[in-house]
Structure 1
Amino acid sequence: MQDPQALVQQAEKELTKSLFHKPNPGAASILFSQASDVYRKRGDLNNAFVCCQRGADLNVEGEILTYLCQDMANLAAKLNKGAECKQYYIRASQQQQRVGKFGEAAQNLFMAAAYCEIEEAKTLLQQGFDIFKVENQDQRGVVCLMDLIESQINSKLLQQAMQLMDVARSVLFGKQEHAFKMDKLSLYSVVICLSLGDTVKLDEVFEYFGDFNGQHALFAQDLIKFFKEKDAFYFKETVNTFLTKLKLPQEIAALLRGIKIEGDLDL
């Protein structure tokens, strides 16, 4: 594995002007990207982010800038840079739109929405759906959003997942073609609220179910009932019963099994 600091020094050398050398930002951005990759493989995300940012700030148009912008956004999220993540995902989206990667551009707008206030998040989400619509891929937009939410849940980014689910419901709620997916999201929200102990939000998200006789809503209803009644036995029975009926992400199942009630035994 190459020495990342040596790669950084080479990049800096490429940017130096001398009698016999003209600055080459293209070569420098590639070297910064390589250094970032090495740092990331070593687990040094802070230096990986710095190198990525230095490469992106050179603004060398083309594939390398697209890669650096995406990498910078992903690293910012892993480093929990909070509101900063929004600007990095938006920049990645803008760059991908320039090079014709519209699906990836829309997904990055969805990612940015997870780090915004609700109204701005709605706008970004709608912009993402609009991109998919122009590409005649309306359904793919919803699938990508669901995949992203499940990915955030799997990465234990529960607050960001809740934010996206809230926004998704506000944008898609009431549209019959998305009813089943919205009920899945509502169930995920109930599980996360229970996991976080947020009983105030719990009653709010339950109202988002479109089909209150559907399996997802019935499961959520029983979970809430037995949780509030502090009935650990029937809560556990409900979890075990519905986990055999519904295909849920592994992390949602893990969250369910990790919810504790007074007098509870391990689920």
Structure 2
Amino acid sequence: MAKQERAVRTRNALIESAAELFSKDGFEVVSLSMISARAGVSNGALHFHFASKAALGAAVWEAAAQRLRQITTDGAAGSGSGARAIPGAGSGAGSGAISGAGPGAGSDAISGAGSGSYVGEVGGALQVLVDTTHALLQALGHDVILRAGFDLSESLESSVDGEDLRRRWQEWVEGVLAKADQEGALARDVSAQDAANTVVAATVGFGALGSHDAQWLSQGTLTRFWALLLPRLAAGATLEELVASGRRVGAG
């Protein structure tokens, strides 16, 4: 058992060290010897777990995909009636509130918005989307594996079955906004697809810029984005229920 535990710790250390280096220097530049040195293990130990840099990169990507799946699953599940608001998320302009209070809820998988409905929940699908974007950017600020997974989307496109975390995120956003449209939560002249494109472009862009300046990942930056977008995006009755700064604390 002790040997198995050491093997798991070594594998995890290699994945985290690889993620740190990939995020900092880029996949193409980083060598296996750099990764093993950072993890404090021998080259032989690295090759025992991973046959190549591509295999190690794929492991980083898979770990990042699990983290993204958890964030979107938590977002879709909502906060429940006992949810705590994000500090500063009360009413008033300084809090980023559009109006009202209360959690959104639902049941989504990362690949789509599921078959449930957010109708009857305060803010519905749009509030779930706002909350989940806050959780994602917060996680990108402190989770190097998640950050590296987004960075690796291009480098590993041919070695991870063409998968791309940005594409997965886009599919989830599209699914939630399709639900918002079904709920009648979108303004009459707003296309769910156009809205999804805007949200994905902004959040992925904030994530990329945040690797150089953490302010792009701050709650304040995203709150101002939503405060600007929601009055154009949401139907009047829904707009009164939405909180641009989010209703939940923490990220997955």
Greater length-normalized contact order (CA 8 Å, ≥ 6 residues apart): 2
| TM-score relative to the length of structure 1 | 0.28
| TM-score relative to the length of structure 2 | 0.29
